[in-house]
Amino acid sequence: MRKSFNGSLKINLSIMKTKFYAYLASLSIMVTMMMTSVSLAQCTNAFEYPFGGVTAPTAAAPLTSISTCSYQNEYSALNFVDAATIYQCAIATGGYITITQGTPTGSVIASGISPLQWNSTVAGTYYAHWNVDAACTTASGVCNVTTATYISPANACTNPVAAGAAAASPAAACPSVNFSLSLTGATLGTGLTYQWQSAATASGPWTAIAGATTANYSLQQ
């Protein structure tokens, strides 16, 4: 038996601000929707598996299998993580990942849809929390393959930087539907900060969303 338990970027994008908007199409009429700043980006779970965690991947061994049977209501420890390094965690079948540092309920380093790239700050233990979606939905009883990949050292950010392109999943969302935002093609490195903005129309004016300061961000319309 698998297991048992009781109860169960500063990029101040001065060169380019990444902006986003979504449209709701109905009867061929495009209706512009205003995004609200409801943060659903910090999912932390109470159950650990595998117990004691795994050793983080390295440049010499870049792929680590965390588990072949993670539940999406658990977290996994990544031990001996290097400082200032880019890693990627993934759920093979998809889902939502939150990375904390130091303790399972420690500072949130990154969160977003799988696969999730994140930068370590200091050396030590980090925790990957596995969930179904950005609303922190949980699921047990179904095995999920989870992995961690070593990407590269996170070199300090230098000019010019690439802001990248904003991507939403799903690409269009109705009111009260959770969705996740991420960046593709953006510069990776240390010393970067992020700020997502919202507007009622594509032409603005744009307003910073409080707390939306990570490369991956989740919210609802």
The ranges assigned to domains in the chain are: 47-153
pLDDT at 156: 67
**22 within 8 A of 47, measured Cβ to Cβ:** no
Chain centroid to CA 80: 21
pLDDT at 128: 98
How many whole angstroms separate alpha carbon 148 and alpha carbon 127? 11
Query: Model confidence at 89, in pLDDT bands (50, 70, 90)?
Result: very high
Q: Where is mean pLDDT largest: 37-51, 118-132, 155-169, 206-220?
A: 118-132
190 to 5, 48, 143, 146, 216: CA distances (angstroms): 39, 29, 34, 26, 16
47-153, what's its fold? Jelly Rolls (2.60.120)
Give mean pLDDT, residues 142-165.
84
**Tokens, residue 157:** 């950010």
Residue predicted with more confidence, 210 or 120: 120
Whether 40 shows a pLDDT value over 70: the answer reads no
Handedness of CA 76, 79, 84, 89 (dihedral sign): negative
Sign of CA pseudo-dihedral 37, 38, 41, 42? positive
Distance CA 159, CA 11 (A): 10
Bridge partner residues of 89 (DSSP): 116, 148
Cβ pair 60, 125 in contact under 8 A:
no
- In percent, how much of the chain has pLDDT > 70? 77
CB-based contact 19:8 (threshold 8 Å) = no
Contact 164, 18 (CB under 8 A): yes
Tell the residue number behind the tokens 């983080």, with chain if given. 56
The pLDDT-based confidence of 91 (bands split at 50, 70, 90) is: very high
> What is d(CA 91, CA 97) in angstroms, rounded to the nearest whole number?
8
For residue 54, what are the contacts with CB-CB under 8 A and spacing of at least 6?
Answer: 64, 65, 66, 76, 77, 78, 79, 148
CA 183 to chain CA mean position, Å = 11
DSSP 72: T
